[in-house]
Structure 1
């Protein structure tokens, strides 16, 4: 069983227009607080980011925000966090989030959320970490993304092993269970070779 003391959540700085998604973010935040899981996220108080952070804090949980300097000046930074970490740039931000976390969940968002999700999956695929990655799929939001990954498998661009690295569920409790039971893959042989 994986020890999930701190989970990084990737999500949007907009709220979107689906109340089921905002309610799912609130529910996940409450679950984190009840289970004493620290939320690691992008430090904003707006959008889905702000909703999950508020939910964790309202339920006496702990929240760590990580934000680069240039966004700290432009975004609405949440000033009531348990801890705020400032980085020099986006690359350092993602590395710090990875270092601070025992696992990752993608909630709903836009391009930035997808970029963070796919980078952290790629790092897992390359053996740069061995932490579980979950996708919370509320109201079919990510159905087309999952279908695209299945197409990548069919067309020979994605192995089934790597497809299986992303744990998908519409229920936050079930998703956390999958993450707890996740077994990291062995490194592919070509990464273990001495070839340069």
Structure 2
């Protein structure tokens, strides 16, 4: 009989939790497809769910990352998302690529998306269902809670998930009194 160290048990428990989350998310999306019958409606609902989650995660992130400076531009947003937020909340690394439009658009590339690891999306849904839109919605919600209006969309590629992000504006009207960008 082999002994499992506390660290080994913790890793196994985290892996089991991630797998349970993946399976639960898959069942949730499947049920939504049955309920709404339109993959585009399901994508919109996933985006809204993600947005609502993101507004809460923004507070959690700030509470846990007190030493992270306020982002002043899109490059800083991309760096914080790829190096801190995605690894902390999804447990996987992300890289930044595809800069365009005056450094206001970029993509986060997630090579090993935990949401898609144990799922196979049927071919007839691939063109209309953005299965990982909940991640894009969470990013959009978190950034809006931090006074950045962005557009975000998830794109499933053969080997990765790409979250395309475009900075629209800084929401100066909703900044706390005395703060400015």
TM-score between both structures, scaled by the size of structure 1: 0.23
Higher relative contact order (CA 8 A, sep 6+): 2
Q: Tell me which structure has the larger Cα radius of gyration.
A: 2
TM-score between both structures, scaled by the size of structure 2: 0.25
